[in-house]
Amino acid sequence: MTRRISLTQYLVEQQRQHGRIPAELRLLLEVVARACKRIAISVNKGALGDVLGTAGSENVQGEVQKKLDIIANEVLIEANEWGGALAGMASEEMDGIHVVPNRYPRGEYLLLFDPLDGSSNIDVNVSIGTIFSVLKKPSDRPEITVDDFLQPGSAQAAAGYCVYGPQSTLVLTVGDGVAMFTLDREQGSWVLTADNVQIPADTQEFAINMSNMRHWAPPVTRYIEECLQGRDGPRGKDYNMRWIASMVADVHRILSRGGVFLYPWDRREPGKPGKLRLMYEANPMGFLIEQAGGAATNGRQRILDLQPTQLHERVSVVLGSRHEVERVTRYHAEADR
Ligand code: AHM
Ligand code: MG
């Protein structure tokens, strides 16, 4: 029988071999994984668990909240606030930061998450997910403020996501490659199913919401038009397109077989850098993608180098197979000159 490696065992062995996962970080990652398991159970119940539909409220960004957005947010807060590893949390679904209450010990880490990514897919039974990012508290002060969270993605101690699809899969990096764990529902445990995940540098698959094409900036239009010309155009090969409208599911496909994902700036709201959130979506996904040999930029700069100025900051995102991301980034540089 092949040896099954659980998440706990993987984290312990990683610490022994590479010393990258101190006990407090391991505890934190295990608690996040446990919370994702609970969210997976709610997602699977669907209409039977009364978890579908809207909650009748809006988040700080003016988006209508779904019941599952709120359930997933509460599960993550409740699971994580008492363990002693965290000083505070920030979420796409909360206006401000959540400081660990005084009744619990405060640890040295900060957790940021998009509790339920791909909300528009909840009610139609298409893959959705949870995205998370772990930072270290920058100072020894017991109090924390929003400023403590405003660190560039390159400072992340760990990042990951869980995709709730035909299988529930947890994907994780602590800065030493990317590992995937599949939820064994009978045993209730996360089992290692892929390690040292690598994205091919070249691809013939792109992901973008084509309905926004008329609003894009010229470098993005140029790139996609060239892909659409297929083997008759400058790229000399045919491209395939996928758009799931759940970043977790699109990124999971890219980590599994390569591809490029774009959610660019567009003219509909020129003052907004993009739709996706830097701290809860672009940074953790950028970290994972780079750890798998891919690249992630905002069209001009590496995502992980961006200095955030606000918790809910938005950003343009181009990520995936390295050569394609480099090309899109080059097209922006050429347009700027
Ligand atoms: P959400 O966090 O509110 O679900 O929004 C983020 C999602 C991403 O998962 C996905 O890539 C994108 O929004 C889809 O947007 P659109 O519906 O404009 O295609
Ligand atoms: Mg999201």
Give whole-number Cα distances, 333 to 154, 329, 330, in Å: 23, 6, 5
The residue assigned the tokens 């610490």 is 15
pLDDT at 1: 59
Q: How far apart are CA 334 and CA 220, in angstroms?
A: 12
Q: How far apart are CA 300 and CA 316, in angstroms?
A: 9
Tens of pLDDT, residues 228-284? 999 999 999 999 999 999 999 999 999 999 999 999 999 999 999 999 999 999 999
What is the 120 CA–ligand 2 centroid distance (Å)? 10
Mutual orientation of helices 218-228 and 322-336 as an angle, nearest 10°? 130
| Domains along the sequence of the chain with CATH | 7-194 (3.30.540.10), 205-336 (3.40.190.80)
Cβ(274) – ligand 1 distance below 6 Å: no
Q: Among all ligands shown, which has an atom nearest to the Cα of 252?
A: 1
Centroid of chain to Cα 208 = 16
Residue 250's identity, in one-letter code, is: D
H or E element at residue 115: strand 109-117
For the chain, give the mean pLDDT. 95
- Percent of the chain whose predicted confidence (pLDDT) is above 70: 100
Residue nearest to atom 16 of ligand 1 (CA): 245
The model carries a pTM of 0.97
H or E element at residue 98: strand 98-99
Residue 285 CA neighbour count, 13 Å, CB half: 37
Tens of pLDDT, residues 35-62? 999 999 999 999 998 889 888 888 877 8
What is the 246 CA–ligand 1 centroid distance (Å)? 6
Cβ(259) – ligand 1 distance below 6 Å: no
Cβ(120) – ligand 1 distance below 6 Å: yes
Residue nearest to atom 11 of ligand 1 (CA): 247
Confidence of residue 141 (pLDDT cuts 50, 70, 90): confident
Q: How far apart are CA 284 and CA 220, in angstroms?
A: 23
